[in-house]
Amino acid sequence: MSRSIVFALGLVLSMLTLAAPVAACGGLIGPNGAVNLLRTTTFVGYHDGVEHYVTAFQFAGGGGKFGSLTPLPGVPSNVERGGAWTLQRLVRETQPIKALAPAAFGAERNALDRVEILLETTIDALDITVLKGGGAAVGEWATAHGFRLPADAPEVLDFYANRSPIFLAAAFDADAAAARGQRIGDGTPVHITIPTSNPWVPLRILALGKQGNDPVQADVYLLTDRKPAILPLARGANGLTLAYDQSASKPLLDDLRSDAGMGWVPANGWLSQLRIDTNASTLSYDLAIDVQGHSPSRVAAGLETPGSSDPTPIALTMLAAAMAALILVALREQRRTVSA
């Protein structure tokens, strides 16, 4: 069955300035002063073999132009404006007001030394370009188009290009946004539809351009048909915690379904909220998801390099069966020894 991923980006996952070095997510510097970005929120829904990815940044002030590069797991088939309030409704569901008030890896190595333009479009004050290429080629393209990349960009771009050579570049003109009447706190939601095999959320890119002790904060909401398996495990010590994990309520699903482009939302589902609250040096992973609750890809999670042994659920089942057989043989031999 065809699977798709839908991205909605306020200003996209990682900001690269067009005039100065960048501090992604927490704040960035533009030609006319600081551009502040608050905590990011991402929604990943998966139903009937289709992934829906919605993420947004809150623009908290600043002027001039700045931009971003976001790694994608596949080639988009569509880019359009997203819904207006899906993320806000999810926050209200998981953080209710108290008291009186009621988200295929292993890139082919050929032709990745150049960039192929796959799609170009403009939504509000956001100019979007979908690129295919290796990390070095994408970095060269970005530099040629006015992005000033931070020192760690080559390593980070190679990290993603080795898994998927698809990137989304977005140039945001804060002055143009102001001229359109966009206010502080407003974002530009964008839907990007991409065929892919399983949900995947790039997280390491959020640390791009940051110092080791700089904070990185984000929320990821997952909506799946059943309780999913995720990697890495939300242990807390690694900066990833599971803040909400239960069946999605009918009022929430009904509200989400009524937003623009959200008619796919199922009648039933499982809602999880993962919170990233760490520093840049700790954030060395992405979020891999298995919607069947089996074994997410360690390569997709950034825990192993492409080409490494990444056991499938079948392989793990066979390994467990082999271990069980060995235990039975050992027990039988032990019984024979005792009876003798």
Per-residue pLDDT tens for 251-263? 999 999 999 888 8
What DSSP character marks residue 244?
E
Tokens of 212: 């080791």
Confidence of residue 310 (pLDDT cuts 50, 70, 90): low
pTM above 0.85, yes or no: no
pLDDT at 137 over 80: yes
How far apart CA 101 and CA 93 sit, in angstroms, is 13
Angle, to 10 degrees, between the axis of helix 153-161 and the axis of helix 135-144?
Answer: 130
How far apart CA 123 and CA 128 sit, in angstroms, is 8
Q: What percent of the chain has pLDDT over 90?
A: 33
pLDDT at 316: 47
Mean pLDDT value of segment 297-324: 66
Place of tokens 């600043």: 62
Confidence of residue 332 (pLDDT cuts 50, 70, 90): low
Tokens of 304: 């192993």
Q: What is the pLDDT of residues 46-93, one digit of tens each?
A: 877 777 777 664 455 555 556 677 788 877 777 777 777 887 788 888
How far apart CA 65 and CA 126 sit, in angstroms, is 10
